[in-house]
Chains A and B, each alone.
Chain A
Amino acid sequence: RKEVEQDPGPFNVPEGATVAFNCTYSNSASQSFFWYRQDCRKEPKLLMSVYSSGNEDGRFTAQLNRASQYISLLIRDSKLSDSATYLCAVNGGTGFQKLVFGTGTRLLVSP
């Protein structure tokens, strides 16, 4: 079983739609969790950290469920510019900043 798993998609949604991605992780000792956005042939860029209480940043909401070992990302009112690959990343809990990434979920927002 992979340490971090994501549905690769693609998720095809129209502008204005709400879309949600899930990501499961296997290491129960994981300490911190993140969502990154990656545009084609570019480096991953931090979208948001994921906190136990859940957190929101504009149209984006992230949730953490430690009991079921998954994190989620909700995007409301999708924009064309949201088209990208969304990577979830988990800190392996070693005390070092070693991130384990999923394979990414591709989102395509169409007019």
Chain B
Amino acid sequence: DAGVTQSPTHLIKTRGQQVTLRCSPKSGHDTVSWYQQALGQGPQFIFQYYEEEERQRGNFPDRFSGHQFPNYSSELNVNALLLGDSALYLCASSTTGQGNSPLHFGNGTRLTVT
């Protein structure tokens, strides 16, 4: 049973470009959360998707948007990339209703903006 899978593994973009990252949740999970981890920092919550809607959002600008598909997979889109968007982007899936359960992360996508 595959866990959370993310693609691509690495990505290099130029400032001002747009990027789309993808996440497939673990089988049986219906909720996807995205985190950004800058170098030397802990992961920071971007947003969470459930039933194809954004349910919660962290302190990130509107340049960060997402989508969840009927099969529960999700995309994270970042527009107008800034150098500061360079980070490891992590996806975690879970089951709504198990609010105190830990999160298990995918391998992440390392985004470099030049």
A residues whose Cβ falls under 8 Å from a Cβ of B: 4, 8, 31-32, 34, 41-46, 49, 87, 89, 91, 94-104
CB-defined A-B contacts under 8 Å, sample of 6? A42-B107, A87-B43, A95-B99, A96-B55, A97-B100, A98-B33
In contact, A43 and B48 (Cβ under 8 angstroms): no
A94-B56, A98-B56, A103-B40 are known contacts. Are A43 and B99 too (CB-CB below 8 A)? no
User: Contacts of A45 on B, CB cut-off 8 Å?
Assistant: 104-105
CB distance from A84 to the nearest CB of B (A): 14
Interface residues on B, range: 20 to 34
The A interface, classified by DSSP as helix, strand, loop or mixed, is loop
In contact, A103 and B99 (Cβ under 8 angstroms): no
A98 to B88, CA, bound (A): 18
Q: Per a CB cutoff under 8 Å, which of B45, B98, B104, B108 touches A98?
A: B45
Give the residues from 46 to 67 in chain B that come closer than 8 angstroms, CB to CB, to chain A.
48, 55-56, 58
In contact, A101 and B100 (Cβ under 8 angstroms): no
User: Contacts of B55 on A, CB cut-off 8 Å?
Assistant: 96
A80 to B8, CA, bound (A): 31
